[in-house]
Amino acid sequence: MAFPLHRSRRLRQNANILRLVRETRLSADDFIDPMFVCEGSGVRQEISAMPGVHRCSIDQVVRDVKESHRLGIPAVLLFGIPDKKDAVGSEAYNPDGIVQRAVREIKSAVPEMLVCTDVCIDEYTDHGHCGVVKDGRIVNDPTLELLSRMARTHADAGADVVAPSDMMDGRVGAIRKTLDEAGHENTIILSYAAKFASAFYGPFREAADSSPKFGDRRSYQMDPANRNESLKEVWQDIEEGADMVMVKPALPYLDIIRSVRDNVTVPVAAYHVSGEYAMVHAAARNGWVDGEAAMMESLLSIKRAGAHMILTYFAREAAKILNR
């Protein structure tokens, strides 16, 4: 590829040639739109560290889902913010809990929308951990039963996809078995397979009021230093029945996204998390970066790294630009 025979800039001369040789393209098809649903009606409360993202009551969430659908986004992901929390997260698997009711309303208002639900009890426990706590430790196996019940009530309500984000061992297998026994053999499992113990979840924990009240999540979420282990997690979840696997967060873990994409044959999702979203907004508000350009470059990079789908709070904003 020696100069002057080869000049790379020949293929960068104008917009048309750039369009022809572009290797990665984003579209609204790539996005899953995360939403926070709370009790009440007419509630639309902005999350301070996440401008443009709200905690909404069901009626308002339905409005947002309709907008998402109009923009061509294929899926939404629901997080519940219950009024009541307790030690075992009972509201998480209440058949009439906040997410279960939201799923029913969304499915009746916008049946074409793929509805995914986050399966994890941390938003529902008073201690804020993703598992049952015994003697100050997060215990694995007793948590599996609760997660399975939670997933089942979501599927009963009509969820198309359940997405376990707790990082307990064996939860995908337990959930698959429970779903199948309940006749939900077509419910899809999107597992948060390589989920790292990350600082970038900060704004989410404010949104969902789910910060752990003691300790941290490092005994169940992955060590950010480990790449081989992420493949072990991913393979294990696929063996247990995960239909799709997720890497989370996204931008600091692009190498993980690429290695997962190269090593598995199931679809790979990447979660562009709350802190990644907040940073773009914070810098843009200060005039330090062009927010729109930084958003599009971030999402494009996640796709280029190998993600088939991107969970992002920018979903609607980016779709509007892509549809222009």
Contact 323, 72 (CB under 8 A): yes
- Among residues 134, 195, 303, 320, the one annotated as catalytic is 195
Residue from 93, 124, 204, 220 in contact with ligand PBG (CB under 6 A): 204
Tokens 């279960």, located at residue: 100
Q: Of 10 and 195, which has the nearer Cβ to ligand PBG? A: 195
Q: Report whether the peptide linkage leading into residue 4 is cis, meaning its omega lies within 30 degrees of zero.
A: yes
Contact 59, 49 (CB under 8 A): no
Nearest distance from C-beta of residue 211 to ligand PBG, angstroms: 8
Say which amino acid occupies 323: N
Residue 273 in contact with ligand PBG, rule: CB under 6 A: yes
Q: Of 75 and 273, which has the nearer Cβ to ligand PBG? A: 273
Nearest Cα residue to 36 out of 27, 26, 44: 44
Say which amino acid occupies 244: M
Nearest distance from C-beta of residue 1 to ligand PBG, angstroms: 41
Q: Could you say which residues in the range 99-118 bind ligand PBG, by CB under 6 A?
A: 118
Nearest distance from C-beta of residue 265 to ligand PBG, angstroms: 25
Residue from 148, 274, 298, 312 in contact with ligand PBG (CB under 6 A): 274
Residue from 143, 165, 298, 312 in contact with ligand PBG (CB under 6 A): 165
Residues 84 and 125: their CA atoms lie apart, in Å, by: 9
Nearest distance from C-beta of residue 87 to ligand PBG, angstroms: 17
Residue 91 in contact with ligand PBG, rule: CB under 6 A: no
Q: Of 187 and 274, which has the nearer Cβ to ligand PBG? A: 274
Task: Find the farthest-apart pair of alpha carbons in the chain and give their distance in angstroms, rounded.
Answer: 70
Provide the sign of the torsion angle of the four alpha carbons 213, 214, 215, 221, taken in this order. Answer: negative
Contact 146, 178 (CB under 8 A): no
Between 254-263 and 228-239, two packed helices, what is the crossing angle to 10 degrees? 50
The residue of the chain with the least Cβ separation from ligand PBG equals: 204
Query: Is residue 248 among the annotated active site residues?
Result: yes
State the residues that interact with ligand PBG by CB under 6 A.
Answer: 118, 120, 122, 165, 201, 204-205, 217, 273-274
Q: Catalytic amino acids?
A: 195, 248
